[in-house]
């Protein structure tokens, strides 16, 4: 089985050797590079994160131009292997078990990108270019909502609500086919997550038009109600393979079992759970899960074939298909 990885900042491995990044903010990247050994062959598709360190964003004279350059790099490296449309999905499906990894483009944190209502006008061109995943919050530096950074207790801001509405405007009308954005709650704090979930619960059509995920990282600080509310809306949780998300393989298994006991759209089970490795941004990985092929092997060893397939591929595939407006 080849995985679908819900979060990998793949381009970060080049931070020490390209002018696209300020290398001083990534002193440990060379030591982390082994995390992506064999990645392109062991992964069927990766959610490719366009992101950088907060200090690096601050040094960008034009953050939107810097983002465009990051997308340029992904478009060059994954030429012909980026999924954004129904035709792309058809081609990926034809070789999902073969060849090099495909990608789905996402932006990890709009902290330095959306600072005023006028910046919301830039979301539609991003979507037209093929960006399908939108993670509003990364650090406490943003103005859309509170982050998981210590002492950031803010909730969703008015601009954050406008951000959600603008993303919803990019989606097809309820019940209609077509590509749509995905909303990623990674790095939000508990008050902001609660506000976002309440916004979705206010209109039951929103979760289908704007699918939810928490692509990577820890959910421990989001409160006891978060998994149930999130899964009830059909949100997909990507589990990372190192601290602070999990400390051991057994802890990862326990987290999967606990989530499976919480109903996903009314039914318990392993739907809505995937893997978001967070490779290249983890300081350390769980023993035995330091490469994507080892993660796939672990899933196949610990779970039944059907459950392993759901966790490693099928649940994430449904997100990919929704984002690209795949043909049934």
Render pLDDT for 153-191 as a digit per residue (tens, 0 to 9). 999 999 999 999 999 999 999 999 999 999 999 999 999
Whether residue 81 is predicted with pLDDT greater than 80 in this model: the reply is yes
Tokens of 288: 């035995």
Mean pLDDT value of segment 138-167? 97
Give the percent of the chain with pLDDT over 70. Answer: 100
Residues in the chain: 328
Region of 151 (left: φ > 0; alpha: ψ -120 to 50; beta: rest) is: left
pLDDT of 328 strictly over 90: no
Residues 6 or more apart in contact with residue 262 via CB below 8 angstroms: 227, 228, 231, 268
pLDDT of residue 65: 97
> Which pLDDT belongs to residue 96?
76
For residues 243-267, average pLDDT:
97
Neighbours of 40 (CB within 10 A): 17
Lowest mean pLDDT among 17-21, 83-87, 99-103: 17-21
Tell me: pLDDT of 251 over 90.
yes
Q: Is the pLDDT of residue 269 over 90?
A: yes
- Of 104, 1, 129, 106, nearest to 49 by C-alpha is 106
Closest listed residue to residue 189, CA positions, set 229, 138, 230: 138
Alpha-carbon separation of residue 290 from 104, 199, 254 (angstroms)? 22, 37, 19
Q: CA-CA distance, 137 to 93, in Å (whole number)?
A: 31
For 62, residues 6+ apart whose C-beta sits below 8 A from its C-beta are none
Percent of the chain past pLDDT 90, that is, above it, reads: 97
Give the burial class of 283: count Cβ atoms within 10 A of its Cβ; 0-12 exposed, 13-18 middle, 19 or more buried. exposed
pTM value is 0.98
Average pLDDT, the chain: 97
Q: What is the DSSP letter of 21?
A: S
Cis peptide before 244 (omega within 30 of 0): yes
Sign of torsion over alpha carbons 263, 320, 51, 27:
positive
* pLDDT score, position 200: 98
Q: What does the alpha-carbon distance between residue 273 and residue 102 come to, in Å, rounded to a whole number?
A: 20
Give the residue carrying structure tokens 């360190």: 53
Q: Dihedrals φ, ψ of 245, to 5°?
A: -65, -50
- The 10s digit of each residue's pLDDT in 285-320 is 999 999 999 999 999 999 999 999 999 999 999 999
State how far the Cα of 27 lies from the Cα of 21, in Å rounded to an integer. Answer: 12
Give the pLDDT band (50/70/90) at residue 262: very high
Q: pLDDT tens digit string along 19-37? A: 899 999 999 999 999 999 9
- pLDDT in the model for residue 51: 97
């Amino acid at each position: 089985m080849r995985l679908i990885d819900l979060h990998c900042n793949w381009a970060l491995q080049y931070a020490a050797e390209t002018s696209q990044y300020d290398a001083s903010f990534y002193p440990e990247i060379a030591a982390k590079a082994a995390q992506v050994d064999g990645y392109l062959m062991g992964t069927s598709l990766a959610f490719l994160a366009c992101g950088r360190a907060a200090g690096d964003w601050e040094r960008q004279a034009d953050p939107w131009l810097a983002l465009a350059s990051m997308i340029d790099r992904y478009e060059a490296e994954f030429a012909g292997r980026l999924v954004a449309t129904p035709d792309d999905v058809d081609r990926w499906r034809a070789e999902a078990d073969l060849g090099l990894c495909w990608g789905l483009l996402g932006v990890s944190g709009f902290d330095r990108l959306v600072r005023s209502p006028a910046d919301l006008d830039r979301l539609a061109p991003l979507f037209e270019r093929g960006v399908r995943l939108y993670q509003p919050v990364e650090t406490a530096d943003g103005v859309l909502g509170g982050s998981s950074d210590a002492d950031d207790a803010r909730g969703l801001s008015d601009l954050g609500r406008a951000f959600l509405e603008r993303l919803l405007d990019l989606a097809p009308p309820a019940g209609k086919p077509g590509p749509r954005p995905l909303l990623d709650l990674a790095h939000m704090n508990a008050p902001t997550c609660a506000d976002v979930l309440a916004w979705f619960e206010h209109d039951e059509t929103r979760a289908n038009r704007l699918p939810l995920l928490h692509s990577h990282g820890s959910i421990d600080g989001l409160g006891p109600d978060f998994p149930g509310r999130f899964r009830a809306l059909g949100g997909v949780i990507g589990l990372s393979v190192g601290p602070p998300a999990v400390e051991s393989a057994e802890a990862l298994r326990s987290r999967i079992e606990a989530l499976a006991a919480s109903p996903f759209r009314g039914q318990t089970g392993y739907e809505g759970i995937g893997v978001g490795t967070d490779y290249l941004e983890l300081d350390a990985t769980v023993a035995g899960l330091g490469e994507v092929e080892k993660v796939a092997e672990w899933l196949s060893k610990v779970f039944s074939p059907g459950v392993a397939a759901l966790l490693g591929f099928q649940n994430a595939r449904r997100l990919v298909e929704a984002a690209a407006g795949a043909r049934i």
